[in-house]
Amino acid sequence: MASRKPSKATAKKSSRKAKKKATPNAKGKGKAKGKGTAKGKVKAKSKVKGKAKAKVKGKAKAKAKAKPKPKAKSTPKAKAKSKSKPAQKPKVTAKPKPKATQRAKPRAKAKVKVKVKAKAKQKPKANAKTKAKAPRKQATSSTKAARSAKSRSDSATVVGKIRDEAQAVHGKILRKAAPSLKFPVRSLSNVVYRPGDGFFRMRGKKKERALTVGTVKTFAQTLRMMAFSKELVETDDIATKREAYYVSKNWDDCRFAEQPESDTVMEDVEALFGVNREQLGFIPEEKGGDVAGELMVIDHDRETGEELRIDCTRFGSGAYSIPISVEDLQFETDAKFILAIETAGMFQRLVKHTYWRSAQCILVSLGGVPTRACRRFIRRLADERSLPVYVFVDGDPYGYSNIYRTLKVGSGNAAHMNEYFCVPQAKFLGVTPQDIVDYELPTHPLKEVDIKRAKDALKNDPFIQHFKEWQKALAQLIKMGVRVEQQALAKHGLNYVIDEYLPRKLANPKLFLP
């Protein structure tokens, strides 16, 4: 059969196959060239677009006066291709941009370093501030050390007194002698008032409590109370008067039946050693009193010794409460006087209307007969800031001879400590018997207990007996047969006491009762 002549298409295919077999490397090169050309075109387009975008961005950033963002780095392959193909000159022109970004990075780092240096320079300033505060901290720590040293010294003194008395009792027992304890007589009959002193001072009478069949329980209770006090002082602990009563329930036959018994023995121990009950580790149940007005109280944190400044004008509708111990407090004030007020209701009215601001004074709520802490607070404040003290209480024998007199000169029961817990510079503002007449105040009849208290003060109270003005006032009250409360001033208006009564009274302090 005759052979057909191959077609041109078939011949071309066969020649292509032959070429492929003959030159295998050419195949790779062809592919590389084809791919390189395609990639080059795509990259060229992307770079043209990138260049256009860079120009637009460059213009926008030039307007904003900001540096252009660095573009992504080109790969080594792209660099090689850009060198091999001269047609792609835009690539060569685009090269400086990555370099610029490379240079820009060190500049950014340099800026960061500058910032760090600037911060480093600021550190000495902070150190300078710290150094400036250092003396204050040292002063605080030294003050705290001084206070703790004084406290340890006082504690050692109290413990020493208790130990000496206990050894004396023990020595008498060993000698087969009846042990005894001598206590000062705590009553008005054993005190004297001298204007030079300004308080009730004890005459020196003492009572002896010997160990007998009839006094064995009281004597044993006294020794147990002394031992309990020694334990509190040595462990730097405290106990309220109520807690002391309950502790006695563990003393078998020495336990107290009622708290008044416990309180009496506690006061005997206090008088025996000539110290206050707080030094023995006993504290009262009641709070010291409330304070409002132009006063800065400077206290210290118990743990850190840090200074605490308490502004008594910033308690809103409340007030600063006087702590149990006021010995370490300091005061700053521009007030002109201290106004001590018996009732909480009257105190709240004056605080509500910020009377302390208009009168430029310090208000203190006594809450009835003032506590020792309250009296000591007023005494220290008045002494250190040279302030007069005016007292505003109900117009009755209790307000005169118990509240006011106790604040001014102390009491017979605590005569051994009156020197520290009284305010000799206090003056009586009101309400006086004459105020009842002058201000036409509503009154209540005197009760039998009121009449008895007034007559007893006239007969036995050394303070009342010393001042004729008080004798005349009490006699006038008994003759009128009435008593008056502070709130009676509300008859003329709720704020009559602020608008009229107090301003009129304060205009003539020389007319106050002594």
Taking each helix axis as running N to C, give the angle between helix 216-234 and helix 259-273, from 0 to 180 degrees, rounded to the nearest 10: 70
Query: Could you give the CA distance from residue 314 to residue 311 in angstroms, rounded to a whole number?
Result: 6
Q: Which residues are catalytic?
A: 246
Residue 293 tokens, joined: 């007005």
Secondary structure E strands in 375-481 = 389-392, 426-430, 444-445
Tokens of 248: 């006695």
Distance CA 171, CA 168 (A): 5
Between CA 287 and CA 195 the distance in angstroms is 30
Residues 6+ apart with CB under 8 A from 168: 179
Tell me the residue type at 300: H
Cα–Cα distances in Å, from 144 out to 236, 303, 330? 16, 10, 14
The Cα–Cα gap between 470 and 440 comes to 21
- Residue 27 corresponds to which amino acid? K
Cβ atoms of residues 413 and 188 within 8 Å: no
Structure-block tokens of residue 319: 């007030």
Tally the residues of the chain.
514
